[in-house]
């Protein structure tokens, strides 16, 4: 009998459990906490940001340590995605599906819009992976890509972390342990809003 595919809710729950388990593994040791946060960003960046902020809100870890670790983890992840895009150029079947003429058109547009494209994709979660893979595949200037990625990361991660931290502090007294449900709700809102914005942008371009 064929097993049903996991629902989006169950997938989200699995990701959330993985991230919270990593953060719990870090305990109260700063180095382990930093490693745990960096690893968590490789699973889902936004989820790692929200849950790290919640831990900072209850005093389990330093807010400064959490932010720096998030910056490092997200930057490494962005560079990794760019590298995967570059590696894809070595696959013959990828070259067949993206002919040279189309590559030239995309390259011509991206070369003049790298900063804008990377920043927009950073604030619209549904666009990050395809945009960064494309940047790597096309071979846009790595320095421009990294500059835009770092600026976008600092802005977006700081904003999301600050909002989550404030929410965690506000929920600390009234709801106690239930603040994690609030964190999950905030994360779900961010993900849904990002997907809707990305879908709307894609519709306007078509």
Sequential DSSP letters for 71-131: HHHHHHHHHHHHHHHHHHTT-HHHHHHS-HHHHHHHHHHHHHHHHHHHHHHHHSGGGHHHH
Report, as an integer, the average pLDDT of 76-100.
85
Quote the pLDDT of residue 25.
Answer: 67
Instruction: Decide: 23 and 52 in contact? Cβ < 8 Å.
Output: yes
Q: Which of 115, 116, 31, 44 is nearest to 73 (CA)?
A: 44
Compare 131 and 171 and report the one with higher pLDDT. 131
Alpha carbon distance 201, 190 (integer Å): 16
5 burial (CB, 10 Å; 0-12 / 13-18 / 19+) is exposed
204 band by pLDDT with thresholds 50, 70 and 90: very low
pLDDT in tens, 132-173: 998 998 888 899 999 999 998 898 889 888 888 887 666 555
Quote the pLDDT of residue 178.
Answer: 46
pTM over 0.85: no
pLDDT in tens, 12-23: 556 556 666 766
Quote the pLDDT of residue 187.
Answer: 56
Question: Chain-wide mean pLDDT for the chain?
Answer: 76
pLDDT exceeds 60 at position 75? yes
65 band by pLDDT with thresholds 50, 70 and 90: very high
104 band by pLDDT with thresholds 50, 70 and 90: confident
8 band by pLDDT with thresholds 50, 70 and 90: very low
pLDDT exceeds 70 at position 78? yes
Compare 98 and 65 and report the one with higher pLDDT. 65
pLDDT exceeds 90 at position 79? yes
pLDDT in tens, 166-197: 876 665 554 444 454 555 555 555 555 545 54
């Amino acid at each position: 009998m064929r097993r049903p595919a996991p629902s989006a809710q169950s997938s989200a729950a699995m990701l959330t459990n993985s991230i919270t388990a990593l953060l719990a593994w870090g305990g109260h040791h700063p180095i382990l906490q930093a490693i745990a946060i960096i690893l968590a960003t490789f699973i889902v960046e936004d989820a790692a940001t929200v849950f790290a902020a919640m831990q900072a809100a209850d005093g389990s870890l330093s807010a400064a340590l959490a932010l720096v670790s998030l910056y490092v983890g997200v930057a490494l992840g962005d560079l990794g995605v760019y590298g995967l895009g570059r590696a894809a150029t070595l696959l013959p079947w990828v070259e067949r599906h993206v002919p040279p003429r189309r590559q030239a058109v995309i390259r011509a547009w991206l070369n003049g819009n790298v900063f804008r494209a990377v920043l927009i994709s950073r604030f619209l979660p549904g666009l990050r992976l395809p945009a960064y893979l494309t940047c790597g595949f096309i071979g846009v200037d790595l320095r421009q890509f990294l500059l835009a990625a770092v600026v976008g990361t600092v802005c977006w991660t700081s904003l999301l972390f600050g909002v989550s931290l404030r929410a965690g502090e506000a929920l600390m007294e009234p709801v106690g342990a239930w603040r994690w449900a609030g964190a999950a709700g905030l994360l779900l809102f961010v993900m849904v809003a990002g997907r809707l914005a990305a879908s709307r942008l894609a519709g306007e371009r078509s």
